[in-house]
Amino acid sequence: MSLFGLTLRNVLHRRFLSLLTVCAVAVTVAFIVLLALSRESVEQGAKQGYGPYDLVIGAAGSETQLVLNTFYHIGAPTGNIPLAVLDQAQQDKSVAEAYAMTTGDNYKGFPIVGLDAGYFFTRYGDTKLQEGAMYAHTGETIVGSYVARSLGLKVGDSFTGAHGLVQEGGHESAEAGHAENHEAEASAGHAEDEGMPESHDEEHAHDSFRYTVAGILPELHTPDDRAVFTTVDYAWAVHELAPEDREITAVLVKPASLLGAHDLKQAFDGSNGVQAAYTSKAVSDVLNAVDQGSRLLSVLTAICVLLAAISILLSLIAAAGERSKDVGILRLLGKSKAYVWLTLISEGLLLTITGLIAGLLLGHLAAYLLKDALFAQAGIQIEPGHLTGEHWMIVLGAIAIGLLSSLGPAFRMYRMHPLALFKS
């Protein structure tokens, strides 16, 4: 019988114990794979999240909150700023591009963002819409690919909005040009009221203002996939605000140079309740917080790895005890010590590699099942099936652990005299 055949027979002889060992390795590998995919997705999403907009101007408060809400559509805005801030930024020679944003509303849990159409051309270049055309008039919208896919929106559909960043229970509106009814909630340019119940007048204002889907964005692999975009003036139209009362949530700035970004921050920071934040710095702060959480998860990972190694070790110790007479017969028939040693090493490696393959598949399957939920809640876009640099470390690490766990029992059998193996 070949070495592999003998090893396979021994593994199948102890099906239950072998299955437990394989499961321990598989769960450990799957957990590490899922962490690796999530970590890479967070880092890639952070890098791609803000594009060329190195500076953002908004209401005074948390810089991190301002950046997360502006570019990642997470959390509430820090407040509103005068429309005059946009004019001031656009006239500054240190600014290459500056676009106003109004936000604070949502449609079925997805944020409605008022944004100058130039934002898309500056950030995504000549990327074409998947369907339809860019909005040009108040009330027209383009929707992110994930929103369109999740809600079944098509060009020509219409919906109404309601106040707030989260879905209000029970609020529903009829939809023209589509068979389904759509719930909606929206508000923009009034972030300080986010989370507060709508008054009757506010609710009526939102219900009477209808949005129409003019286009659908292609899959951009950024947080913009899960937002609804419209003209900046939509909030002013909803609430029929006079020109002197019009405000915006933020100004997205593409500086002409790094020195220009510094000058802009000095000019706008801290003046009349306004702040200018470096986008990259705020994102770095978020990544540092994520790294702290990753360290805690690393402790759990180390515990899982230890338990998997112990499982392999116990399985091989049990195997060595059960097969002492079989090994003795092999030795008396002329099989070398190296053959016996390789038999136990091969058994440990077979269990490890089987668990490793199962764990890799299980980890990517878990990523596939969780990707929509993670993207909807946190903007983390996991790519199942994608191999990260850590995958090779996982493979090599698992094989090394399996090999090391096998050495002890194998070496013990290797050293024993054939006649001693027959003793009880």
Q: How many domains does the chain have?
A: 2
User: Which phi and psi (to 5°) does residue 131 adopt?
Assistant: -160, 145
**pLDDT value, residue 301:** 77
Mean pLDDT throughout 396-411? 80
Of 217, 67, 234, the C-alpha closest to 140 is: 234
Q: Which of 269, 303, 324 is the last residue of a domain?
A: 269
The span from the CA of 317 to the CA of 303, in Å, is: 21
96 and 159 belong to one structural domain: yes
Q: Which of 72-76, 104-108, 287-291, 320-324 has the lowest mean pLDDT?
A: 320-324
In this predicted structure, what is the pLDDT of residue 176? 38
CA pair distance 334, 304, nearest whole angstrom: 41
Mean pLDDT of 351-371: 91
Residues 247 and 323 occupy one common structural domain:
no
Whether 353 is covered by a domain: the verdict is yes
- 120 in a structural domain: yes
pLDDT classification of 171: cutoffs 50, 70, 90: very low
Would 98 be classed as within a structural domain? yes
Instruction: Name the residue range of residue 249's domain.
Output: 61-269
Q: What is the pLDDT of residue 418?
A: 57
Rounded CA separation 300/283 (Å): 26
pLDDT at 221: 85
Do residues 349 and 416 share a domain?
A: yes
Amino acid present at 333:
L
C-alpha torsion sign, points 125, 130, 133, 135: negative
Assess if residue 282 is contained within a domain. no
Q: Answer yes or no: are the C-beta atoms of 253 and 118 closer than 8 Å.
A: no
- For residues 224 and 338, membership in a common domain is answered with no
Cα–Cα dist 109/126, whole Å: 29
Domain-embedded: residue 50: no
DSSP for 213-263, please give it.
Answer: EEEE----SSGGGG-EEE-TTHHHHHHT--GGG-EESEEEEEESSHHHHHH
**Most confident by average pLDDT, 16-20, 282-286, 358-362:** 358-362
Summarize pLDDT for 189-230 with one digit per residue, the tens: 444 444 444 455 555 555 567 899 999 999 988 889 999 999
- 72 and 29 inside one domain: no
- Please indicate, yes or no, whether residues 363 and 336 belong to a single structural domain of this protein: yes
CB burial readout 160-196, b (16+ within 10 A) else e: bbbbbbebbeebebebeebeeebbbbbbbbbbeebee
State whether 168 and 195 are in the same domain.
Answer: yes
Predicted pLDDT of residue 206? 54
pLDDT band for position 187 (cuts 50, 70, 90): very low
- Residue 347 clears pLDDT 70, i.e. is over it: yes
Residues 148 and 71 in one domain: yes
List of residues 6+ apart from 99 with CB closer than 8 A: 115, 116, 118, 119, 122, 251, 252
Mean pLDDT of 298-305: 79
How high does pLDDT run on average in the chain?
A: 79
Question: Do 317 and 373 reside in the same domain of the chain?
Answer: yes
Q: Answer yes or no: is 274 within a domain.
A: no
Which residue, 236, 269, 302, sits at the end of a domain? Answer: 269
Query: CA 382 to CA 81: how far, in whole Å?
Result: 35
279 inside domain: no
